[in-house]
Amino acid sequence: MHKIQSAIQTNDFATIASVFTGFGPDSWQNVGQGEQRSLASDFICQTVANPNFLEQAVKHPEMEQTFLEALGHLPATVPNAADNTLRQALFDAKVNDDDADYSGAARILGGMRMEDDTNSVYYASKVAKAEIYVKIAECFLAEDEIAESDSAVSKAGSAVESMATEEKEGQSALLLRYKSTTARVLDANRKFLQAASRYHELSQSSSDLLDAEELLHFLGRATTCAILAPSGGQRQRILGHLYRDERLSELDRLSEFCTHAKIVRKMYRHQILQASELKQLEESLNPHQKAIMGDGLSILERGVVEHNMVAVSKTYRSIHITTLAKILNVDERRAEKLAASMILEGCLHGSMDQVNGLLEFDAEEPPEVAWDRSLMNFCSELNRVTDAIKVRATR
C-alpha cells in the first residue's frame, strides 16, 4: 500500500496500473480476495482524498481500467462512500471530454450504491436517486441505447412518484428533465400516442424554465408523434388538443415543422391527405420514425392510410374496394386487408361484402364523443360503487 501512496503523491499512473491490471510480482493478483477488497477500498479512499490526483487520473486513459478493476473488488462498505465519489468524477470526465463517451459514462454511474437507510454512508434521498437515473437515461439516449434508457427513466419515475410534495419544491428543473427524457424514450420506443401527450404537456411548461422557442419545439414534436400514432379515439383527442392550441400556426415558421399544422388540422377534420402533402414531413422525421412495418409500409404511410380510411368512412356510406384503393394510393389487396384489420381492431365501423368487393360503413358517433361517453359511464359507475360503500359503512 505504501507503494500506491507514493504513486498517488507523484501522479505515477504506470506504477498504480501495474498493481491493479498487471501480472508482475507487485500485482494484486498475488494476494487473496479479502486483501484485494481492502487494497481496492484504501486506494479509492486515497484517490478521493487527493483532489489534484483525482482530477488528473480520471482523464488519463491508462487509469480507467485501473479504477474499474478497483471498483469491481470492493467490500460491502467503503468509508464515506468514496466509491460513489469516484464514479461521479469518472462520469463527469467522460461526458465533458471532447470525444464524449456517454454510454460508458452511464454504465459507470449506474454502479452507484444508493440506499434508503439514513444511517448508511450510501443513503440517497429520492431527489438524489431521480437525479442519478435521469443522468443515466439522458446518456443512454444520446447513444441511442433505448432499452437501457427506458430502464433508467423507469427507475427515475419510481423515485419521482415517491417524492413528497415538499421534496418536489425547488426541483422544477429536475422534474422537467425527467418529463423530457420520458417523452423522448416513449418516442424512441414508437409509443407515439403517449409521447405526443407528454410532449404537448412539456410545451405548456412554465416560461421561467424554457423560452418560447423551446416550448414551440416541444409542440412540434407533439404534432409529429400525433400524426404517427395509430388511428383511434385517443389519437383524435390528442389531435383535438393540438388543433385548439393557439400556438399551432406558429410552427409554420420552423423549417422542421412547417407543414405539421396543416396536416394536424386536416387529420382532426377527417380530411383526406395527399402523398404530396407529406413530403416535407417525411424528410423531417428521425430514423426510428421512418421504420418499415411488417406490412411493408412505413410508420407514416401506415398512419396516413389508416387516417384516410377513417376519412373515407365519414364521406361515404359504402365504397368499392377498387375505388378505395385508388383513394388510399395502395393496391386493392392491401386496401381490403387493411380495412378488415381496422374493423377487427375497432378502429373502423363497417362490414366487408367480398362477393361484390364492397366496403359498407356504419353510422357512428365521433371517436372523441365515444371516448368521453365511455369515460362518463365509468365515472358514474365509480360514484355508484363509492356511494354503496359509504351506505354500508354507516350501518
Q: What is the mean pLDDT of the chain?
A: 89
C-alpha cell at 62: 491508462
Q: What is the pLDDT, as a whole number, of residue 48?
A: 94
- Spatial strand order of the sheet with 350-353 comes to 318-320, 358-361, 350-353
Q: What is the pLDDT, as a whole number, of residue 6?
A: 84
Q: What is the pLDDT, as a whole number, of residue 294?
A: 81
Dist. CA 90–CA 113, nearest whole Å: 15
Separation of CA 285 from chain center: 17
Cβ pair 77, 117 in contact under 8 A: no
pLDDT at 366 over 80: no
DSSP line for 303-338: HHHHHHHHHHHHH-SEEEHHHHHHHHTS-HHHHHHH
Q: What is the pLDDT, as a whole number, of residue 208?
A: 81
pLDDT at 1 over 90: no
Pairing of strands 358-361, 350-353: antiparallel
Dist. CA 158–CA 156, nearest whole Å: 5
Tell me the pLDDT tens digit for each residue of 107-123.
999 999 999 999 999 99
pLDDT at 243 over 80: yes
Dist. CA 233–CA 235, nearest whole Å: 5
Amino acid at 368: E
